[in-house]
Chains A and B, each alone.
Chain A
Amino acid sequence: MSTRLADQGKLINRSKSLDFTFNGKQLRGYEGDTLASALLANDQMLVGRSFKYHRPRGVVASGAEEPNGLVNMGQGGTFEPNQRVTTTPLFAGLSATSQNHWPSLEFDVGAINKHLSRFLPAGFYYKMFMYPRPFWKHVYEPFIRQSAGLGKAPKDRDADTYEHFNVHVDVLIVGGGIAGLAAALAAGERGARVLLLEQTAHWGGRAVVDRPEIDGQPADEWIKNTLQSLEKMSNVEMRLRAMGAGVYDHGYALAYERLTDHAPDMDGPRHRLWRIRAKQIVTATGAIERPLSFAGNDIPGVLLAAAVRDYAVNFGVSIGDRTVVVTNNDDAYRTALILKKAGLDVPAIIDARPDPEGPLIDEARTLGIRVEAGTGIAKVKGGKRVTGIAICAQAGEGAVLEEIACDCVAMSGGWSPVVHLWSHCGGKLMWDTEQAMFRPDPERPPTGAQGEANVITAGIANGHLFTTEAVGDGWAAGRAAAKAAGHTKRGGQAPLGADAEEGPIAPVWLMPQGASQALRSKAWLDFQNDVKVSDVQLAAQEGFESVEHAKRYTTLGMATDQGKLSNINGLAILSKSLNADIPDVGTTTFRPPYTPISLGAIAGDARGPLFQPVRQTPMSGWHNDNGADNEPVGQWRRPYAYIRDGESVHDAVNREVKNTRENLGLLDASTLGKLIVKGPDAGKFLDMMYTNMMSTLPVGKCRYGLMCSENGFLMDDGVVVRMSEDTWLCHTTTGGAESIHAHMEDWLQCEWWDWKVYVANVTEQYAQIAVVGPNARRLLQKLGGMDVSAEALPFMQWADGKIGECDARVFRISFSGELSYEIAVPAGQGRAFWDALMAAGEEFGIMPYGTECLHILRAEKGFIMIGDETDGTVIPQDLNLQWALSKKKEDYLGKRAHTRSHMADPNRWKLVGLETLDGSVLPDGTYAIADGTNKNGQRNTQGRVTSTYYSANLGRGIAMGLVHNGPDRMGDVIKFNKVDGDTVDAKIVDPVFYDKEGEKQNV
């Protein structure tokens, strides 16, 4: 059983015990424990079930690479699935439950899958579920949904808060082990602005456990002294519990700081996402130990060798009383030595190498540990817990030589440098045959905006597995990074490291090397996703030669751990199956983040009311206090209608539509774009921007204008106003304010850079209110201030002055066909002006109206709407707007495009009005059907609806649509699809339904 040792435990505080629960069971750990060490101290080895076969899973690692120990944490608003026990700090009251089992962790029905494993081979997703077709929906999918998936999705809103933080540094150093500390020291001494990040809660990395010597001191002494030096440097910032998550283009990096995970009662945000711009990045990210592939290597109690000694040294936890070490390298002997010295039994070291030699091996032998050279594990015995191993010759096929009873197996297949951050943004790798690992290729680093190398890798992450080189390499990397960032002050000397000499590693990708099919199908590569040696071999046999294909076919490395333990072993097996060299097979792509980061950290402040900016006009408050039913228009919220007590939305719209035509309506039109275009070349410029002529517009007048893209498609429309000799005001659609401004600047800056034109977006300077209806003039005359009579201010003219108390610019323009004034006042006066209009308008039957009423009024008049009648494929000719295409102008944007054969095609669908014979409202966007079917067997069409409404003024449905030869087919009846599958007859009519002569607006 696993238990707490009487002494040891560098990181725990035995005087402070913490109570926590796992699956409802009350357990106790110490301050400084991780959830993993606390569970192991309580003999809770079984922590979950694997994804596919629901095999029992125990902790296998001690850090970020852990594939098995994933739990649900917390409850309600703090519930979070897939939390890694090895990186979850223990706190009082922690509550965790295991995942992926039913009905219980100890007894799992899904584990029956393991007996079906013959039927769930590599690629089973693709093979099994194809036929019979209906089985997918009714049998397979429900079953998979029930059994697959790890943690549960949270149901409640996250109770914690999160934030972002932007910094610019000279040198970002990821990893606070000895290489990272040395790098920080070197860069800091040279005066660079340094940010040093360490993902765990402690500095020093593995050196704290393995205790090599640095500068003649034990590693922990050197670490303490170095930290003291760094703390004195004001240019060096150090953060624990902060993981370098990703490296992106141009020296951009993300870090994930976990502020309160170890103490949830602390104030402040739970996680902080650091958004870092670094001139240079040093990745001192260390290495991850590889498992060995032998039968039963997934049984709880089989751990990585370094993890076994981490638990002993850091947390005072023994995994078992009798630990067998199995290895292909010297480093794992350290585990045997530490355990032996702690008074635990190490029955044997199974070393796959025929002739291991070196000081560590000698020391093991001296301590009386049996070293079995040239052997391997034939299989591990046990179910939910290791009970023993069978050993065999590594060179053979697995014939059992002997069985050894044990309750822990410590395995080491060598170390893989953590090259993730190096690789995220294009750093390349090379295969180191001698050390059997991929390491960063310093000749092919990630590069920055100028093509310069902007990531330096250091220490063990750079393939220097031994302290002697690692600490010096870190120091050199820090110095080089500081220099590249422009800091060349002189600093101290590189630290010197020393540790025990180690003999060469022997690459072992399968144990024993000739393992039978039966053994290979029990030798796990990916513990979380249940991928075995036999699966990868099958994938290779079936032709999945690319490592990326094999990965997806087998799901190797696709779990939440992203194959930190399995990738190298998997591709070694693949390369062997393909009879290719490992570097020729290559690795899969390393993508950020390094380990999963919380969605909360990514969102930061963007939640609740701050989820996104909601733009408000000066009158938005009034609208919301007066029944506005809002709709989003870009980031604005505009009232769709103002609902009164007892009304439906439809009732309110009908009331507003009738009242505006009969009495007086008020529309908040502030959101419409307003661009000032000024300069000696402004007229010439606007003649290019608009299809019709703007340079000839007299001062004081307004003109409706159309804007096409250079491809000829209609992109915006609005009223253009001549303010003065060299100044125009261009109204755009609400959605076009920013984009048309950008469009104009684009042409001015990139194409016509020598034209003297300035553009300013003054959209928000004005609150703009449309006063619409037969009583509009009466209302303005009552408020007084300026002459708004038909004579003083005719249709399509404007004037500056005052209305009541407010500074007003009054435009006689109409989008409704009614007598209409659009009045712009400074936004600060907008609310006062609105209030004044509402108060004075009472006697004239004033009512505010929303966007739906606006739409209906314009549709009754046959006015087009950008975004309804246009969709990016429509040209002005389609909408019978030839009158707005100037023939006098030599050029304008879109003119040339309109001459293309497809644009000039007489068969293009054209705008018409549509009236159903039964008066009903046509469905939005519906198609008019034609005879026959196309080559795909679909019904032919001859038109579609672009706008459709119920007109309360006409008492019937009205619509506009684009119809083949439409304007030539007035009076024809065509059929439109309905949602229920039926069709409805509609007559083609003139799109102007109301006041065809336009008398009402021109009074």
Chain B
Amino acid sequence: MSNAVSALQARVAPGEVTIREDGLRGMIILRGDLGSKKLRNVCKAVTGVAVSAQGQADVTGDNGLCWMSPDELLVLVPYAEVAQALAAIDKALSGEHYLAENVSDARALIHVEGVFAREVIAKLAPVDLHPDSFKPGDFRRTRLAQAAAAFWMRDEDTFEVICFRSVAEYVFGLLAQSAEEGPVGYFAKL
């Protein structure tokens, strides 16, 4: 697997808000009964964090869980550990009705960091990003302009954006363009 590369190979667009492709990340789509004890336990065992509430993500380092829908989680692990994590999930949930698939290569992960990161995203996504409404740890499945995307807030100045690999170039371009156009001065009076 040493020959695996991410969609944009860690491309960076530096600026007041910096856009950076984050490289390879292990991602597993997990569908099942989110109330199941077995499922919650194995998620915790694999990622070290508890199953998120609706609209939330809990991410520490390369590990984390994101709430995708009432029966779907996105499991984040280091890229090299996906097979191991899948095996653990399959073992734990054997006999239950669930689906776990590796989607690490189907996605791109883009890091948006800077003082007006909120506004860079708000130019593209029809989401309430007011600081009272969207806080670190919040997660949304939505769109950026014309492409499907999801994002969560890591801290006040940082968003992590996930999009499909095939549109990584487009989404990176959008974010870079948004950042280059500068702040709106709405969420943070600069």
Residues of A within 8 A of B (CB): 161, 163-168, 193, 237, 267-269, 272, 275, 277, 604-606, 609-610, 612-618, 635-636, 676, 678-680, 756, 758-760, 762-766, 805-807, 826-829, 831-833
Chain B residue contacts of A605, Cβ below 8 A: 123-124, 145, 174, 177-178
Chain B residue contacts of A678, Cβ below 8 A: 99
Quick one: which of B104, B123, B147 contacts A165, CB cutoff 8 A?
Answer: B123
CA distance A433 to B176 in the complex (A): 57
Per-residue A-contact encoding for B30-62, CB less than 8 Å = 1, 0 else: 011000000000000000000000000000000
17 contacts between A and B (CB under 8 A): A168-B130, A267-B182, A277-B128, A605-B124, A605-B177, A606-B145, A606-B146, A613-B167, A613-B171, A614-B169, A616-B167, A679-B99, A760-B101, A764-B166, A765-B104, A826-B4, A831-B5
Contact B3 A806, beta carbon cutoff 8 Å: yes
Chain A residue contacts of B126, Cβ below 8 A: 166, 275, 277
Per-residue A-contact encoding for B121-137, CB less than 8 Å = 1, 0 else: 01111111110110000
Contact B146 A828, beta carbon cutoff 8 Å: no
Contact A616 B169, beta carbon cutoff 8 Å: yes
Q: What 5 A-B pairs have minimum CB-CB distances, sorted nearest first?
A: A828-B4, A168-B128, A615-B166, A758-B99, A832-B3
Contact A827 B106, beta carbon cutoff 8 Å: yes
- Asked whether A161 and B97 contact (CB < 8 A) given A613-B170, A764-B166, A828-B5, the answer is no
Chain A residue contacts of B103, Cβ below 8 A: 760, 762, 764-765
Give the contacts of B1-23 with A (CB-CB under 8 A): 1-7
CA distance A885 to B33 in the complex (A): 35
Contact B186 A167, beta carbon cutoff 8 Å: yes
CA distance A831 to B99 in the complex (A): 28
Chain A residue contacts of B127, Cβ below 8 A: 166
B102 within 8 A of A: yes
**Nearest Cβ distance between residue B51 and chain A, in whole angstroms?**
17
Contact A826 B104, beta carbon cutoff 8 Å: yes
Contact B97 A166, beta carbon cutoff 8 Å: no
Quick one: which of A610, A614, A676, A764 contacts B165, CB cutoff 8 A?
Answer: A764
Chain B residue contacts of A766, Cβ below 8 A: 105
B92 within 8 A of A: no
B161 within 8 A of A: no
Contact A269 B3, beta carbon cutoff 8 Å: no
Main SS at interface, chain A: mixed
- Asked whether A167 and B130 contact (CB < 8 A) given A161-B181, A758-B99, the answer is yes
B119 closest partner in A (C-beta) = A165
Chain A residue contacts of B181, Cβ below 8 A: 161, 163, 268-269
Contact A756 B97, beta carbon cutoff 8 Å: yes
CA distance A763 to B29 in the complex (A): 13
Quick one: which of B3, B132, B171, B186 contacts A829, CB cutoff 8 A?
Answer: B3
Per-residue A-contact encoding for B86-119, CB less than 8 Å = 1, 0 else: 0000000000011101111111000000000001
**Nearest Cβ distance between residue A221 and chain B, in whole angstroms?**
26
Chain A residue contacts of B147, Cβ below 8 A: 613
A616 closest partner in B (C-beta) = B166
Question: Other CB < 8 Å A-B pairs besides A237-B186, A829-B4, 20 of them?
Answer: A165-B184, A166-B129, A167-B122, A272-B184, A277-B126, A277-B128, A604-B123, A604-B145, A605-B174, A609-B173, A610-B145, A610-B174, A612-B146, A613-B171, A614-B170, A756-B97, A759-B99, A765-B105, A827-B165, A828-B4
B125 closest partner in A (C-beta) = A166
B24 within 8 A of A: yes
Chain B residue contacts of A832, Cβ below 8 A: 3-5
**Nearest Cβ distance between residue A651 and chain B, in whole angstroms?**
30
CA distance A479 to B101 in the complex (A): 52
Quick one: which of A165, A610, A765 contacts B170, CB cutoff 8 A?
Answer: A610
A756 closest partner in B (C-beta) = B97
Quick one: which of A193, A676, A805, A826 contacts B130, CB cutoff 8 A?
Answer: A193
**Nearest Cβ distance between residue A973 and chain B, in whole angstroms?**
47
